[in-house]
């Protein structure tokens, strides 16, 4: 009730696999699912980030890995989030947390970081002194949640990319997506998808 307490003292209405419409193995990924979640009051949304392909012009995608779900471009998801959040009345613009499940390689993480800065603009809350502010202090701000690689991590040195200070999450886990059109639906069978997904 007291929005002047630190954010960690708050109960936050959260969404898991926010981008999915339907079930987790054969569901459809949609950018509008983020808008719907925000309008329903969710203030912690999940973004599962994967490589969109190996060529330089490809950008990260959002999908449920090791399943037969469709994909959306990360840029579309972030844009939908930004537009819906900005359209809320100021009193409802309580801090919004984007929980990143990061599977991207370092070059694609760098693209994703640049995307967040470009699309979210001034709403993006960058780290300051490491203190977790209160919801009152964070009204109208969007926070990224995820593990951060140190700026001197070997992955950055080997990639040739500079390390963004706050927008990087975990090193890649699992296989990257192929260089096919990132918006196409996987042709994997349901049985194969369920086996790889471990029954999730």
Residue 66 and residue 192: Cα distance in Å, rounded? Answer: 9
The set of catalytic residues is 16, 64
**Alpha carbon of 167 to those of 108, 121, 147, 170: distances in Å?**
12, 13, 9, 10
Tens-digit pLDDT string for the chain (200 aa): 588 898 888 999 999 999 999 888 899 999 999 999 999 999 999 999 999 987 878 999 999 999 999 999 999 999 999 999 999 999 999 999 999 999 998 889 999 999 999 999 999 998 777 788 899 999 999 999 987 566 666 655 555 555 444 443 333 333 333 333 433 333 333 334 334 334 33
Residue 133 and residue 7: Cα distance in Å, rounded? Answer: 6
Q: Which residues contact 41 (CB under 8 A, 6 or more apart)?
A: 13
Q: Which residues contact 143 (CB under 8 A, 6 or more apart)?
A: 95, 96, 97, 98, 125
Residue 95 and residue 52: Cα distance in Å, rounded? Answer: 29
Q: Are 124 and 115 in contact (CB under 8 A)?
A: no
pTM confidence score: 0.75
The C-alpha angle 38, 67, 170, rounded to 5 degrees, equals 65
């Amino acid at each position: 009730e007291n929005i002047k307490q630190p954010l960690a003292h708050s109960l936050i209405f959260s969404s898991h696999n926010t981008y999915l419409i339907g079930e987790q193995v054969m569901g459809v990924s949609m950018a509008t699912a983020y808008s719907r979640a925000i309008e329903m009051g969710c203030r912690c949304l999940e973004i599962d980030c994967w490589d969109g392909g190996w060529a330089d012009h490809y950008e990260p995608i959002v999908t449920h890995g090791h399943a037969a779900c469709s994909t959306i471009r990360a840029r579309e998801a972030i844009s939908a989030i930004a537009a819906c959040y900005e359209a809320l009345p100021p009193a409802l613009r309580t801090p919004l947390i984007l929980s990143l499940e990061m599977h991207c390689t370092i070059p694609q993480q760098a693209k994703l970081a640049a995307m967040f800065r470009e699309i979210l603009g001034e709403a993006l809350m960058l780290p300051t002194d490491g203190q977790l502010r209160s919801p009152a202090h964070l009204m109208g701000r969007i926070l990224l949640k995820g593990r951060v690689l140190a700026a001197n991590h070997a992955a950055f040195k080997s990639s040739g990319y500079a390390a963004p200070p706050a927008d990087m999450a975990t090193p890649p886990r699992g296989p990257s997506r192929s260089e096919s059109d990132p918006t196409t639906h996987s042709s994997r069978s349901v049985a194969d998808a369920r086996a790889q997904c471990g029954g999730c």
